[in-house]
Structure 1
C-alpha cells in the first residue's frame, strides 16, 4: 500500500481505578469510528492501557508489576486485536512490557491489517529520575520503573510502507528521527503522555509545551521527509493534567490534522507515502549530501565536552 488513511486516536484521561477492559472498550470505540472513516491504520498513545503510573513513587516491585503486561495480546487486549482484524485496520499502541526474563520496558507495537504484530519498539530516551525528588511538583519516575530500550530504532515493512516507532521523549532527540530516516522511513508513529505542567519550571506554561512538542515532530518529519503521527493521552488523571495536541504531519513538516480536545478523539488524514520521495531525492538525499566524516561526536560522547 502506498496510500494509507491514518487515524490518530487520542485518549482522554485514564484514572488509577480504571480497568484495562474499560480502556480497551474506549479504544475499540475509536477503532469503530476509524472504520467508518475508512482508516487503514490507527495510532494510539504511549501507555495506552493504564494511567501514567510513573507519577507515583512505589517501593514494592509487586505493586509496580501490576501496571505491566506479560504478553501481547493478552486477555484484556485480545478483543482490540480481534476488532482491528475484523475492520482490516492496522494498529499501533503503547504499553508497559514485563518480559519473561523479568525486564521492564516502555513499549509500543505495530500490527498489519490482519492483526498480526509486525514490529516492536522499546523507549530509548527515558526522562525523569530514579529516587523521590522533593524539589519537583510531581514525580516522573520512568528511570525507576523502565530500562532503556534494547531494540534500537528499527523500521518495519508493513504492507509496502516503511514504518517506525518512537515514544514520547524520543521525539525531542533528532537522533531518533535520523536513524529511522537512514532506513528510508516513510511513517513514524509516536505516542506520548506529557504533563501540561513542567514539574521543574511552572513558568513554561501549556502553550509553550504544546509548541515544543509540535516543533519536535514537524522538524523530525521535515528533516527526514517522512509522515509522522504523534498521539497523546490527555486530560486530568487523578488530579494530574496531561496535554493533548495530537497531530498528523506530512513529509514537508506541515500539520494536516490536529485534535481539539483533551478527551477521546479521532482525527484522520489520507497519507500518500509517495510524497516522501521528493524530499528524500532532493534536499534530504542523504547519500549525496551527508558528511559523516564530521559527525563523530554524535556517537563518541554523551555529555558536553570542549
Structure 2
C-alpha cells in the first residue's frame, strides 16, 4: 500500500486502580471508531495498557512486575488483535514487556492488517533516574524499571510501506530519526506519556513542553522526509497530569491533524507515502549530500568533549 488512512488514538488518563480489561475496552472503542472512519492503521500511545507507573517508587519487584506483560498477545490483549483483524486494521501500541529471561523493557509492537506482529521496538533513550530523588516534585523512574532497548531503530515492511517506531523521549534525539531515515523510512510511529509539568523546572509551563514535543516530531519528519504519528496518553492520572498534543505530521514537517483534548480522542489523516520521495531525492538525498567523514563524534563519544 502506498496510501494509508491513519488514526492516532490518543488515550485519556489511566488510573492505578483501572484494570487491564477496562483499558482494552477503551482501546476497542477507539478501534471501532477508526474502522467507521475507514482507518487502515491505528497508533496507540506508550504504555497504553497501564498508568504511567514509573512515577511511583517501588522496592518490591513483584509489585513492579504487576505492570508488565509476559506475552503479547496475552489473554487480556488478544481481543484487541482479534478486533483489529476483523476490521482489517494494522495497529501499533506500547506496553511494559517482561521477557521469559526476566528482562524488562518499554516496548512497542506493530502488526499488519491481518493481526500478525511484524515489528517490535524497545525504548532506547530512557529518561529519569534510578533511585528516589527528594529534589524532584515527582519521580520519573524509567531507568529503575526498564533496561535500555536492545533492538535498535529498525524498519519494517508493512504492506509495501517502510515503517519504524520509537517511544517518547526517543523523539527528542535526532539520531533516532536519522538511523531510520538511512533505511528509507516512510512512517515513524511513536507514543508518549509526557508529564505536563517538568519535575525539575516547575516554571517551564505546558505551552513550552507542547512546543518542544511538536518541534521534535516535525523536525524529525522534515529532515528525513517521512510521515510521523505522535500519540499521547494524557490527562490526570491519580493527581499527576500528562500532556496531550497528539499529531500527524507530513514529510515536509507540517502538522496535518492535531488532538484538541486530553481524553480518548481519534484524529485521522490520509497519508500518501509517495509524498516522501521528493525530499528523499532532493535536499535529503543522503547518498549525494551526507559527509560522514565529519560525523565521527556522533558515535565515538557520549558527553561533551572539547
TM-score range, shorter chain: over 0.9
Match of 1:107 in 2: 107
- 1:159 & 1:147 partners in 2: Cα distance? 31
Match of 1:208 in 2: 208
**Aligned structure 1 segments of 4 or more residues deviating by more than 4 angstroms:** none
1:189-228 matched pairs, under 5 angstroms = 189-228=189-228
- 2:228 & 2:125 partners in 1: Cα distance? 18
Match of 2:281 in 1: 281
Give 1:132 deviation, angstroms.
Answer: 0.2
Return 5+ residue gaps in structure 1 as ranges: none
Q: Is 1:98 equivalent to 2:98 in the alignment?
A: yes
- 1:193 & 1:75 partners in 2: Cα distance? 25
* Cα RMSD, aligned residues only: 0.2
- 2:305 & 2:250 partners in 1: Cα distance? 36
- 1:164 & 1:67 partners in 2: Cα distance? 25
Give 1:236 deviation, angstroms.
Answer: 0.1
Give 1:277 deviation, angstroms.
Answer: 0.1
Give 1:260 deviation, angstroms.
Answer: 0.3
1:1-306 matched pairs, under 5 angstroms = 1-306=1-306
- 1:268 & 1:29 partners in 2: Cα distance? 15
TM-score, with normalisation over the residues of structure 2? 1.00
CA offsets 1:67-89 (integer angstroms, 9 cap, x no match):
00000000010000000000000
Q: Count residues with an aligned counterpart.
A: 306
Secondary structure, aligned partner of 2:4: strand
- 1:19 & 1:101 partners in 2: Cα distance? 26
CA offsets 1:263-287 (integer angstroms, 9 cap, x no match):
0000000000000000000000000
TM-score, with normalisation over the residues of structure 1? 1.00
Give 1:168 deviation, angstroms.
Answer: 0.1
- 1:236 & 1:43 partners in 2: Cα distance? 21
Return 5+ residue gaps in structure 2 as ranges: none
Secondary structure, aligned partner of 1:271: strand
